């Protein structure tokens, strides 16, 4: 399993951070122009790091959820690649939902009651995480199904020895 999906393990946190930073970019571009004109480089960098950190946490939850789902249901990778893609997407979405529900529960116990808003955002994030996980696993499955060219032996194996 590790041999097939190691690229996803490396790419998911980076992709999560970049997607989180992109969400800030979309919010900043679509936001109030007076607020944009008063921002400094420091406040933009702080916001990008904050949104990127949230994206990183979401991507790690999705990665753990997807790995656990595929490892529990198909540990020997015996089922079809489409089934593994669907299970990984469902696992990634479930991992993000668990993270959001835990965060909403803690937030509800500690301070303000933002639990319903957090769960609403979590549902959207879970759908996005499931789609991204399905795409990444689909690509990994297609990469593993390619037929590798057979190694061809050199026509004169002893040519350098006889020189």
Range of the domain at 46: 2-147
pLDDT at residue 100 above 60? yes
Looking at per-residue pLDDT, the higher value among 60 and 145 belongs to: 60
Q: 61 lies in a domain?
A: yes
Residue 158 in domain: no
Answer whether residue 123 shows pLDDT above 60: yes
Longest dimension (CA), the chain: 83
Mean pLDDT taken over the chain:
86
The reported pLDDT for the residue numbered 147 is: 61
Pairwise pLDDT comparison (155 vs 79), residue with the higher score = 79
Could you give the CA distance from residue 72 to residue 67 in angstroms, rounded to a whole number? 8
Q: How many of the other CB atoms lie within 10 Å of CB of 140? A: 20
More confident residue, 159 or 126: 126
* Within a domain: 152: no
In a domain, 160, yes or no: no
Within-domain flag for 161:
no
Whether residue 163 is contained in a domain is answered as: no
Count CB-CB contacts under 10 A for residue 60.
16
162 inside domain: no
In a domain, 36, yes or no: yes
Domain count for the chain, please give it: 1
pLDDT-derived band at 161, boundaries 50, 70, 90: low
The model carries a pTM of 0.80
Task: Tell me what percent of the residues of the chain surpass a pLDDT of 70.
Answer: 88
Of 138, 146, 152, the closest CA to residue 81 belongs to 138
User: What pLDDT does 15 receive?
Assistant: 92
């Amino acid at each position: 399993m590790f041999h097939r999906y190691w690229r996803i393990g490396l790419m998911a946190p980076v992709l999560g951070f970049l997607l989180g930073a992109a969400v800030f970019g979309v919010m900043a571009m679509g936001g109030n122009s007076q607020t944009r004109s008063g921002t400094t480089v420091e406040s933009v960098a702080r916001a990008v790091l904050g949104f990127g950190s949230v994206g990183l946490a979401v991507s790690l939850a999705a990665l753990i959820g997807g790995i656990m789902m595929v490892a529990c249901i198909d540990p020997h990778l015996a089922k079809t690649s489409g089934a593994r893609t669907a299970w990984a997407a469902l696992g990634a979405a479930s991992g993000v939902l668990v993270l959001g529900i835990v965060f909403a529960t803690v937030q509800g116990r500690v301070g303000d009651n933002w639990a319903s808003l957090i769960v609403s955002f979590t549902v959207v994030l879970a759908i996005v995480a499931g789609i991204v996980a399905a795409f990444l696993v689909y690509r990994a499955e297609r990469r593993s199904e390619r037929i590798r060219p057979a190694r061809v032996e050199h026509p004169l194996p002893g040519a350098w020895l006889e020189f």
